[in-house]
Structure 1
Amino acid sequence: MIDESRVLTEQADRWILPFRGLTVIQVQVDFAFGLTFNDQSTARISSTATLGWVNIAAHPDEVELEPERQDVAAGLALFNTQVLSAVAFKSGALRIVFSTGRKLTVDPDPDHEGWTATGPDGMRVVSLPGGDLAVWTSQP
């Protein structure tokens, strides 16, 4: 039987990434800001991201993560947190919500691939320059 939470699922305006229930086991900083999950899936962000809260009324503060300047220290708070949801919007945006109430969002970059997500069975989702997604999967 296939675990539906581990399958890339297409909806009208988005793809549900198979990261629900996974834990961030590694945070990487180089020319990008990377998260590795306990099954070796990844999210690599190379354009500006926003780290905020789901409940903005209680936590109105947000911080920008700028990987191109290695200004991502606030993103270390995501280490050892569990993913509640991960969505790749067909507009090219990414949203990952964590068990701590934190929310990581990335808008599409006008000139570059803003982020890449990889997962089980060769899954790869890339935010293309200017918005839109490229999606690869070995699933039918």
Structure 2
Amino acid sequence: MKRAAVDTWQGLRMDAPTELAELEGRWLLPCRGMQVIQVQVSYQLTLLLDSGAHVDMEAEAMLSHGPLSAPDATMDRLVPERQEVAPALALFGATVLSSVAFKSGALGLVFDIGAHLSVKPDPQYEAWSAHGPGALLLVCLPGGDLAVWR
């Protein structure tokens, strides 16, 4: 597994894989350092990254601002199917610090603006998918299983 430089953010070690990396219980997606250049809304919420990669969310997501353990952290519920995603516009221009697909089906993205985006699996639908860079594709299948194509 190739890795870029090691950095820290809020005391967390951020090793950045330059390709998909499988660890116990999770996949590290190679999105670190990529910037959100477009936020698209339809029946899903899409974050288009500057590398041509994108993350599509069809299930409900949570967007928090500030440290997750802080008492004044704010949580915004995003519901793409109803276009209730306005708080996600704050991600425009943000840079991805960490992107993790858990083998339970959850997705977690951390951004340089102090925002955390999380999507849980849906029992009936594909909750999210991550495309790229290149031909890489991860899909959260109904119930939480992950399908991975490299």
Look up the SS of the partner of 1:113 in the other structure.
Answer: coil
Task: Kindly indicate whether the alpha-carbon contact (under 8 Å) linking 2:44 and 2:80 is maintained by their aligned counterparts in 1.
Answer: yes
Question: What are the superposed Cα offsets for residues 27-60 of structure 1, whole Å, 9 maximum, x if unpaired?
Answer: 0000100001000100000000000035131542
Corresponding position of 1:34: 46
Where in structure 2 are there 5+ consecutive unaligned residues? Answer: 5-16
Query: Is it true that 1:99 corresponds to 2:118 in the alignment?
Result: no
CA distance in 2, matches of 1:73, 1:115: 18
CA distance in 2, matches of 1:121, 1:42: 11
CA distance in 2, matches of 1:117, 1:36: 10
Corresponding position of 1:129: 142
Between the aligned residues of both structures, percent identity stands at 46
Where in structure 1 are there 5+ consecutive unaligned residues? Answer: none
Deviation at 1:121, TM superposition (A): 2.9
Corresponding position of 1:87: 100
CA distance in 1, matches of 2:98, 2:67: 15
CA distance in 2, matches of 1:27, 1:53: 17
> AA paired with 2:137?
R
Judging changes above 3 Å, is the alpha-carbon distance between structure 1 residues 54 and 135 closer, same or farther for their aligned structure 2 residues?
farther
Q: Which has the higher helix share?
A: 1
Q: Once superposed, what is the RMSD of the aligned Cα atoms?
A: 1.3
Answer with 56-65 or 86-95: which moved more: 56-65
Query: Is it true that 1:66 corresponds to 2:85 in the alignment?
Result: no
Question: What are the superposed Cα offsets for residues 108-127 of structure 1, whole Å, 9 maximum, x if unpaired?
Answer: 01110000001123100000
- TM-score scaled by structure 2? 0.87
Look up the SS of the partner of 2:90 in the other structure.
Answer: helix
- TM-score scaled by structure 1? 0.92
Give structure 1 regions of 4+ aligned residues with deviation exceeding 4 angstroms. Answer: none
